[in-house]
Amino acid sequence: MGENCIAFKLNYCDGGANQDCIGFRGLCSDENIFYNVINRNRPWCSHDNNFCKKYQCKKLSREELEQRWKVEDSGFCNESITLLDWYAEAGWNNDDTTRKFSNTDMINHLCVLTTELPRKEPSLFVFGMFIVRDAFKGDNKNPGKVCADKYWRLEFRRNEVEEMNFRKACTKPWRRGLFRYFSDKIAVKLLEMAVEVKRGTSEEDFAKEFLKQYPYK
């Protein structure tokens, strides 16, 4: 069985977080910027060209940071718009070259978005999933990119993500890298987990339909 599904491991972004949303909808809080830039020294968060790093170093005010985020399309992380625009990128290497997908046969297969929550025992929690509508392999100027179907997308609330542990469905070690491929068999397991997590909520029927309509069971 081929591995045409894809999972991304993203830095946690608490922008826009509330009881119904885990985040990934805006700039991080000051506390989370400090965590990503200083405590964890994330490669892009702590890059000299990153506006959050400049803010942390007091080269920008919070007001200036927020204004730039509204108009700039570079200097910020993709995580701050992941659940606004529903896409994920392969990213960049340390030498500023683009990362490309070796597999572009992902259209109509499952993509899952995972993250590690701060100050928790390391574990990859799924905070969103979608059917891939478009897939761009990447070139020397732009990294690989997958975009979500406009209908088949599902996110998990703050009180749900810890039940959506990616490693419960996929036990193969992740080791390194921002993304990895997995099989449709694992995709079905993740969709079954989603049904259980959404049971008793307003999204239960949609989760069931998502599983029922998944074309590669």
Q: Specify the pLDDT at position 151.
A: 98
Q: Specify the pLDDT at position 73.
A: 79
Q: What are the residue ranges spanned by the domains of the chain?
A: 5-13+86-213
Q: Specify the pLDDT at position 217.
A: 82
Q: Looking at residues 138-150, what average pLDDT do you find?
A: 96
Q: Specify the pLDDT at position 1.
A: 57
Q: Looking at residues 127-156, what average pLDDT do you find?
A: 97
pLDDT in tens, 192-216: 999 999 999 999 999 999 999 999 9
**52 phi and psi, to 5 degrees?**
-65, -35
Q: What is the mean pLDDT of the chain?
A: 93
Q: Specify the pLDDT at position 176.
A: 81
pLDDT in tens, 25-80: 999 999 999 999 999 999 899 999 999 999 999 999 999 999 999 998 788 999 99
CB burial of 175-209 (b: ≥16 within 10 Å; e: otherwise) equals: eeebbbbbbbebbbebbebbbebbeeeebeebbee
User: Which residues lie closer than 8 Å to 199 by C-beta, 6 or more apart?
Assistant: none
Q: Looking at residues 85-114, what average pLDDT do you find?
A: 93
* Whether the predicted pLDDT of 92 surpasses 90: no
